[in-house]
Each structure stands twice: as C-alpha cells, then as structure tokens.
Structure 1
Amino acid sequence: MSPSVRSELPMLLPRLRRYAYALCQSSALADDLVQSACERALLQSSSWTPGTRLDAWVFRIIRNCWIDGVRRARVQAEVEGAEASDMVIDGERHALSRVEFSQIAERVEDLPWEQREVLLLVCVDELSYRETADILNVPIGTVMSRLARARKRLVEAYGHETDVRERG
C-alpha cells in the first residue's frame, strides 16, 4: 500500500463525501459509497501514479463504485420484479423528503446528475475541466457543455441573469 495514499486519503474525506452525496442523494448511501471507494483505493493504491492528483483518482473510483451500484440495483430490481423496484423508489423519496436544504442546494439537487456532478467537481472541488473530463471519461467539450447548462438552469431558477459564480 502506498504510504502517500494512506496518509492523504483522510484529508479528502469531506470532499469525497460531498461528491458521493451529490451522486446518490442520501447521507447513508453516500457514507457507504465513500467507504467502498476508500477501501478500493487502499487495496489498489499501487495503481495510483505518484505525482498525479490523488483526489481526481479517488473521485473516479467513487464514480465507478456508484455506477456499479446503480447497475447492480437495476439488475436486482429486474430480478425481484416491479414490487421491489417500487419499494426502492418509495424509500428514496422518503429519505429525500426528510432532508432540508438551503435554496441553492435545492436548485443544485434539481439538476440532472450529469450536470450536478460536473458542477460539483469544477465549482466546489475546483478541479480543472481536463481533470473533470478524465474522472468522468468524457471529452472536455462535454464537461464545458454540462457546466454551462447547469449554470444556465441555476440562473433561470433564480429568475434573473446574474452569473452563478457571482453569487457568494
């Protein structure tokens, strides 16, 4: 195990948890996702290249774990039938209804997840477009387009033309 990964990973936990929450919209699921991603990062620390951004590498692991979980849940729902799928959806709605957010957090939550994850990686975690594109495995133009659409939707939600970056 790389000593650098082991020593630097705890410092990333708040950012990792915020990103995981943005993906799955549940505190409990976000905690599980971060735990799985950290376990995977520690087990596969030899595949991280020293001198590169550890945070970008772990963000990508989180995203891959989340996608794996979504696929697994979809397959499980298909196997268990529509009733199980309805229970999962009802459970998610119940969890979301209990969470209270500020006005901006509500607007960000309303964004499609592709736009939300780009917005969080670029604007909150201050990753470059290139780093975000690498994490998401998409072209830089896709990152720029998703970010522009997310910002436009946020501006429209507030009903005026103020640049979202100026909202402090």
Structure 2
Amino acid sequence: MTLKTMPIQQRGFTLVELIVFIVLLAIVAGAFSLSFSQFNRDSIDPIEQHRALQCAKAKLETITLLRFSSTTPVGGLPACGSGQEDAQACGAIVASTLKDDIGDYHGEVDNSLQACSISVSVSEGTGGLAVTGLSSSAAQLRRIEVRATVGSSEVVLSSYKGNY
C-alpha cells in the first residue's frame, strides 16, 4: 500500500471548518458590539450629571450673593431682626418677581436653560443642625435648596445663608 500525498494546490479548509470559523467570528463580534454599546450608553450619564451640577451651582451662587431679607439694608448692617437701632424686622420668605433677596426665589422653577430644569426652595431655620453662638439660631439662618435635572440625572445642592 502506498501513501498518496495531496499536491500543494489542493490543500485547504473543508466546508465544515469554514462554517465553524465564521460562526465563532460572528459570536466574538457580537460580544464586542454588545459590550461597546453598553459602554456608550452609560458614558452619557457623567456628562448629564456634570451639566446638572453646573446648572445647580450657577443658580445657588446667584441666590447666595443676594441679601438675607428684603428688609436687610445694603451692606447687611444692622441685621434685620437684630434689635439694634434702625434694624427692621426680617421679611418673610415670599416668592416674588423682584429677586432682590433669597426669599424671592422660593418655589421658583427655571426652565430657561437648554435641557436643564431647576427648582428652588428656601426655608427658615437650621434644618436640624446644631448651631451655637447665635441668638435664636432658627431665625438667623435660611436654607436654600437647588434641584437641577438634566435628562435622567438629578443634582441637589443646599446652602445656608446667615443673617449677619
């Protein structure tokens, strides 16, 4: 019995081997495609969170730069409700279009920025925080809370404004 070897031109892959290779290649390509699509879908979240944070910071800074109450004089002295000479009683937190003190922003919903919704609430007191060194500390502080939403991301920032 003699062993016949195939000539070089006739060597190659069988049809079954080619089909198995193509199926395996399709499975690997599908797995990579699925992992990249998951990565791309999640990559937008940090961008939305950062944008919401910037919107909230801008609004909070705008509000905290204003005076404590509508009766607070320019410069802040004498502080309203302090009992000092020429000091007036502090004005209530009332939403207003004037926007000259922090209480005017209470209940405001701002949709003027593109794709960013901002809501503001202002409240009296410390919110349960222990504050020392202030007489009737609840009346000396106002809490400002800014909630910004961009897409599915929401950021809440809060700050306290003192009556000084």
Range of TM-score over shorter length: under 0.3
TM-score scaled by structure 1?
0.24
Q: Which structure shows the bigger proportion of residues in strand conformation?
A: 2
Instruction: Compare CA radii of gyration and give the structure with the larger one.
Output: 2
Q: Which structure shows the bigger proportion of residues in helix conformation?
A: 1
